[in-house]
């Protein structure tokens, strides 16, 4: 039974407006019963007509709002279903028709389908697609969709403001009209509250499939019943693959995911899509994102990358002319073609700049005319492509809309709250939490519509999170710490979270009951406080350490928490877990005084990831000496770090585990669970080193692994993997310091790991590969043939463990081929070269979707192919492809540039084409600029640069030296 009945004790002002009820008298403010209330003073210099009209809503809107407040306990996925106002147009007539063939189960079907997450209405977006503006891009996408044998995913990426969402909606419409749309998710409309994991979005996609294709409902119902607590791969297969398969279509359906990088879990979800690689004839995914997929490296996923180009000046002029049709120009004098062209040039291909500029021109309540505002924009010396161009436009827009100091201060308070708001709230409830009068909020919302890209139908009565109303570039503008003061309008997130966190705690302290919950009415703001105070406090208060928590203890948030009794916190826990779909049975016991931190820790352990982290952050603040809380926080952040490449989770994981070690340092020797902790901490340092390349992280990893090993006996199950991890770290340090002692010790540790690991152990093939890698590295350094021969033998032994369809087989084949290529370089044996090329081609065929493996294989295949005149064109094509697959910011990009330079050198030595020599020199210099100064392969790169310069000097005398092996092949650099 739900703990939270939805009966109303008192309607809020906004709710009375919805039902056309009169305002209640407040004698203190009105002076006498029945007296007419005076309007509240506003700090804004805007005419009364600028405020939103008080149109009377229909009674069905009241029912909808009431139902949303009553049904909060039905959250299967709290983060999606938190979203208010989900009148989804996708239901249509099919939603009723789909059950006519199953009248005996229609109620059950409706109930089960209704339990799935629902996508909010996106009809309020105003930036419509300009016909033919993206005709080439649309055609490229549709051609890929119609291709019989294509990748599972097309990843379309571009910076913010280039019109990705508009293109996604246009594509959505095109596919829907052709019956090819499976589902669509627009993450920017889901708001900041979307912290649910991949399971939530998988269910949302399944629900959308059912609403668009009623014949698939039976399969979706089966998925709901079969997938309780199932792994995400199983849910993807049931909700998506099996559902679409049940339709027996002749062409794949398409699932459109827009602004996917705005979702915390997008990396983990996209990686999990690899389980559908073989189902690309049934379903295709078109993903829109700002991030380049090459940065994330989705291993195992069948993916095609498509970079969306900026719009041309011609297209931008057409867009601006279209928007100019909606502007009331004084005396009908439209801007000249020159003005339009200049405005398009300033937009520099970004639709969002042009859209905001046109919105500022269209504002009817400004004292200046549209022509005067256009002149001001055109007279700006900064084009968008220059520093802070978009920021300057936003700053100008804010200054023109809110001209007085009082209005600016009120706007900052409003934006501070909405930028971190987690779900929509009625204006009265939001105003109470934000500390603003409702009339001020109404005025701000009316004036800010000029800058919005989404116009909800109920914006007169509801406040939405900023990311649901504004373009992402505007939210980032507000939160950017690096803009110059001349264009900045700073709304720092920590301050915003802190303020809302305090308001939520005050709400709990005032309204949270300490006894019976059965008659409790939860106002929207109390429900918000119960659900979200943890997140706001965690992100809005200073961090603590076991020996340093004075700043937190002296802060207002801690003082308010101390005033909430443990009984009140237990009641909060009941309400909170009920909202999250859990219950008190998830907690091990009841909690007494001074155990608030333990309560938070235990709640955190049963929550989804992002909520878990917030809860555990509060737990360590309340009990900073509790090692278990720090350990739980570290593991939660470590799990998060596995799903994202951002710096925050891995940094916080390391800090948390370090605090656990600090608390446990009183022990003379680590215990068994502490050894596991040390190994995890060392892994975190290794991960951070791989991502950032800071040698001190590698040093810390080695020190910690040595400490863990010192407490393990040779027969301990952790002993072999710890040895192998230490050896891998030592090899990595050698590559960056050329300290031969590290490499020798690492090889010794690898041999010990193999010695203490039985051949049937799951880690045994991994240990073989690690030793082979270290032996290959030593060969490259010392040219000892015995090391190379042993490495080949170990790699072939590893290959024997992998059947033909094993995911590690392509990596193993590639490693054997690399060793054979090195053997060819040393001996000149064509047999080794031909086998190397064959194995590399086999590895490449198996590496579809495994980007890192594919990169390495392409590079080495190109280097091997360059030795034959007949395959030199293919060699250059292959290494260019490898280089194109890595982003400019990738720290190992220089390795692929080096390969391009080597192949260009080889071609020049055969052809004498000077353009290839010039390009080789240019690429080699880029590689040198990017390579670590002490990396063990850098001397070879310097030798390559010297040889290229020598050839350049010789080319002026037409004396081109060709260096060859005795076999006739050019030397390998």
Give yes or no for a contact between 284 and 150, defined as CB atoms under 8 angstroms apart.
yes
Alpha-carbon span 300 to 850, nearest angstrom: 4
**First CA to last CA distance, the chain:** 73
Place 831 in a pLDDT band, splitting at 50, 70 and 90.
Answer: very high
Write the DSSP string, 616-681.
HHHHHHH-TT-HHHHHHHHHHHHHHHTT---HHHHHHHHHHHHHHHHHGGGSSS--HHHHHHHHHH
What residue has token string 């656990």?
A: 660
pLDDT in tens, 493-533: 999 999 999 999 999 998 877 666 666 778 999 999 999 99
Instruction: Give the CB-side neighbour count of residue 229, counting CA atoms within 13 A.
Output: 0
Record the tokens describing residue 137, joined without a space: 């891009």
- Rounded mean pLDDT of the chain? 82
What is the structure's pLDDT at 585?
58
Cα distance between residue 349 and residue 626, in whole Å = 54
Token readout for 206 is: 């399944």
Q: What is the pLDDT of residue 191?
A: 59
pLDDT at 445: 93
Pull the structure tokens for residue 485.
Answer: 């003061």
User: Locate tokens 């049937």: which residue?
Assistant: 760
Handedness of CA 101, 105, 108, 112 (dihedral sign): negative
Asked if residue 144 lies in contact with residue 154, where contact means CB atoms within 8 angstroms, the answer is yes
DSSP assignment of 454-505 equals: B--TTTTTEE--HHHHB-HHHHHHHH-SSS-TTT-----HHHHHHHHHHHHH
- Element holding 48 (H helix, E strand): none
Q: 619 is written with which tokens?
A: 């737990």
Long-range contacts of 9-17 (CB under 8 A, 24+ apart): 9/521, 12/426, 12/428, 12/429, 12/523, 12/524, 13/427, 13/428, 13/438, 14/426, 14/427, 14/428, 14/429, 14/438, 14/461, 14/462, 15/62, 15/65, 15/426, 17/54, 17/56, 17/57, 17/461
* 115-307 and 513-669, same CATH topology: no
Tokens linked to 796: 């072939």
Burial-class residue 196 by CB neighbours within 10 Å (0-12, 13-18, 19+).
buried
* Residue 299 confidence (pLDDT): 63
Most confident listed range (60-74, 394-408, 826-840):
826-840
Alpha carbon distance 859, 852 (integer Å): 11
The CATH code of domain 115-307 reads 3.40.50.300
Rounded distance between C-alpha atoms, residue 130 and residue 166, angstroms = 9
Q: Where are the domains of the chain?
A: 115-307, 313-498, 513-669, 894-972
Residue with tokens 């509240």: 40
Stronger pLDDT, 66 or 224, i.e. the higher one: 224
Alpha carbons 923 and 907: distance in angstroms, whole number: 14
Q: Among candidates 188, 189, 248, which has minimal Cα distance to 215?
A: 248
Burial of 192 (0-12, 13-18, 19+ CB in 10 A): buried
Q: What is the pLDDT of residue 329?
A: 87
Cα 483 from chain centroid (whole Å): 23
406 or 584, higher pLDDT: 406
- Tens-digit pLDDT profile for residues 379-429: 764 444 444 667 888 888 898 889 899 999 999 999 999 999 999 999 999
Task: Give backbone dihedrals phi and psi of 470, rounded to 5 degrees, phi first.
Answer: -110, 160
What is the tens place of the pLDDT at every residue in 533-558? Answer: 999 999 999 999 998 999 999 999 99
The answer to whether 600 and 615 are in contact (CB under 8 A) is: yes
Strongest mean pLDDT among 102-111, 395-404, 440-449: 440-449
| Distance between CA atoms of residues 52 and 906, nearest Å | 71
| Alpha carbons 557 and 459: distance in angstroms, whole number | 32
Which CATH fold would you assign to the domain 513-669?
1.25.40
* Opening angle at CA 882, ends 880 and 886, nearest 5: 115
Kindly provide the b/e burial profile for residues 668-700, where b requires at least 16 CB atoms within 10 angstroms of the residue's own CB: eebeeebbebbbbbbbbbbbbbeeeeeeebbeb
Stated pTM of the model: 0.74
Q: Looking at residue 772, what is its pLDDT?
A: 97
Q: Which residues have C-beta within 8 Å of that of residue 369, sequence separation ≥ 6?
A: 330
Tally Cβ neighbours within 10 Å of residue 404. Answer: 12
Q: Count how many residues are written for the chain.
A: 973
Residue among 13, 127, 59 nearest 455 (CA): 127
């Amino acid at each position: 039974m739900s703990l939270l009945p939805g009966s109303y004790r008192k309607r809020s002002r906004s709710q009375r407006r919805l039902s056309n009820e009169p305002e209640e008298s407040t004698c203190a403010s009105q002076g006498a019963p029945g007296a007419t209330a005076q309007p509240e003073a506003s700090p804004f210099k805007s005419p009364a007509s600028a405020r939103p009209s008080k149109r009377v809503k229909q009674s069905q809107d009241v029912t909808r709002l009431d139902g949303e407040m009553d049904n909060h306990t039905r959250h299967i996925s709290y983060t999606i279903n938190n979203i208010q106002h989900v009148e989804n147009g996708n239901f249509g007539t099919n939603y009723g028709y789909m059950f006519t063939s199953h009248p005996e189960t229609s109620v059950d079907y409706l109930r089960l389908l209704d339990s799935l997450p629902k996508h909010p209405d996106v009809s309020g977006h105003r930036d419509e697609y300009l016909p033919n503006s993206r005709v080439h891009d649309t055609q490229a996408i549709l051609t890929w969709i119609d291709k019989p044998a294509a990748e599972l995913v097309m990843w379309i990426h571009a910076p913010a403001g280039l019109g990705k969402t508009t293109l996604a909606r246009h594509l959505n419409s095109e596919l829907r009209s052709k019956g090819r749309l499976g589902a669509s998710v627009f993450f920017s409309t889901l708001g900041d509250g979307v912290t649910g994991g991949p399971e939530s979005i998988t269910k949302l996609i399944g629900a959308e499939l059912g609403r668009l294709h009623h014949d698939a409902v039976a399969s979706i119902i089966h998925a709901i019943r079969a997938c309780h607590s199932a792994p995400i791969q199983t849910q993807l297969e049931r909700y998506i693959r099996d559902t679409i398969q049940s339709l027996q279509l002749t062409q794949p359906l398409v699932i459109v995911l827009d602004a996917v990088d705005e979702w915390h879990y997008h990396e983990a979800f996209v990686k999990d899509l690899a389980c559908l690689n073989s189902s690309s004839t049934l379903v295709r995914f078109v993903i829109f994102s700002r991030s380049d997929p090459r940065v994330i490296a989705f291993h195992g996923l069948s993916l095609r990358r498509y970079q969306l180009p900026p719009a041309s000046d011609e297209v931008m002029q057409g867009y601006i002319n279209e928007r100019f049709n909606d502007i009331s120009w004084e005396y009908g004098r439209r801007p000249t073609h020159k003005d339009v062209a200049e405005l398009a040039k300033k937009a520099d291909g970004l639709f969002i700049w042009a859209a905001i500029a046109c919105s500022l021109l269209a504002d009817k309540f400004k004292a200046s005319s549209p022509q005067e505002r256009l002149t001001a924009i055109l007279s700006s010396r900064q084009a968008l492509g220059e520093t802070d161009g978009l920021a300057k436009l936003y700053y100008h827009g804010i200054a023109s809309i809110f001209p007085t100091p009082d209005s600016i201060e009120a706007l900052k308070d409003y934006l501070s709250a909405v930028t971190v708001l987690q779900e929509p709230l009625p204006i009265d409830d939001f105003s109470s939490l934000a500390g603003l009068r409702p009339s001020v909020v109404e005025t701000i919302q009316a004036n800010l519509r000029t800058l919005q890209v989404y116009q909800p139908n109920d914006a007169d009565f509801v406040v939405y999170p900023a990311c649901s109303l504004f373009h992402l570039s505007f939210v980032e503008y507000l939160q950017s710490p690096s803009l110059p003061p001349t264009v900045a309008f700073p709304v720092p997130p920590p301050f915003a979270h802190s303020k809302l966190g305090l308001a939520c705690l005050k709400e709990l302290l005032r309204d949270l009951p300490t006894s019976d919950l059965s008659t409790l009415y939860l106002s929207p703001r109390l429900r918000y406080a119960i659900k979200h105070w943890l997140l706001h406090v965690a992100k809005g208060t200073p961090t603590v350490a076991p020996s340093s928590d004075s700043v937190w203890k002296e802060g207002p948030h801690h003082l308010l928490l101390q005033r909430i009794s443990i009984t009140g916190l237990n009641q909060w826990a009941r309400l909170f877990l009920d909202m999250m779909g859990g219950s008190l049975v998830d907690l091990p016991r009841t909690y007494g005084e001074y155990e608030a931190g333990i309560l938070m820790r235990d709640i955190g352990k049963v929550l989804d990831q992002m909520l878990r982290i917030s809860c555990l952050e509060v737990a360590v603040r309340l009990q900073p000496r509790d090692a278990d809380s720090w350990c739980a926080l570290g593991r939660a952040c470590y799990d998060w770090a596995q799903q994202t490449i951002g710096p925050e989770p891995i940094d916080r994981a390391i800090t948390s585990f370090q605090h656990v070690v600090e608390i446990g340092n009183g022990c003379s020797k680590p215990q068994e669970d502490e050894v596991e902790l040390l190994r995890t901490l060392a892994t975190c340092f290794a991960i951070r080193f791989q991502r950032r390349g800071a040698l001190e992280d590698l040093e810390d990893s080695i020190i910690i692994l040595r400490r863990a090993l010192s407490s393990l006996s040779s027969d301990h199950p952790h002993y072999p993997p710890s040895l192998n991890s230490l050896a891998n770290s030592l090899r990595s340090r050698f590559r960056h310091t050329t300290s031969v002692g590290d490499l020798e010790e690492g090889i010794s540790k690898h041999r010990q790991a193999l010695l203490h690991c039985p051949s049937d152990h799951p880690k045994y093939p991994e240990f073989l590969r690690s030793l082979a890698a270290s032996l290959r590295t030593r060969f490259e350094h010392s040219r000892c043939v015995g090391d190379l021969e042993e490495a080949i033998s170990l790699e072939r032994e590893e290959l024997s463990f992998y059947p033909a369809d094993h995911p590690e087989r392509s990596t193993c084949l590639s490693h054997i081929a690399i060793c054979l290529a090195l053997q060819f370089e040393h001996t000149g044996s064509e047999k080794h070269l031909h086998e190397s090329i064959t194995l590399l081609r086999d590895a490449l065929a198996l590496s579809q979707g495994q980007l890192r493996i594919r990169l390495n294989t392409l590079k080495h295949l190109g280097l091997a192919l360059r030795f034959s005149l007949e395959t030199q064109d293919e060699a250059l094509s292959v290494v260019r492809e490898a280089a194109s697959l890595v982003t400019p910011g990738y720290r190992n990009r220089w390795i692929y540039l080096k390969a391009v330079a080597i192949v260009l050198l080889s071609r020049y030595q055969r052809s004498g084409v000077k353009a290839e020599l010039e390009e080789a020199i240019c690429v080699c210099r880029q590689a040198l600029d990017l390579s670590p100064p002490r990396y063990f392969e850098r001397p070879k790169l310097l030798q390559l640069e010297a040889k290229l310069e020598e050839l350049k000097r010789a080319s002026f005398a037409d004396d081109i030296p060709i260096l060859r092996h005795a076999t006739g092949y050019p030397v390998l650099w």
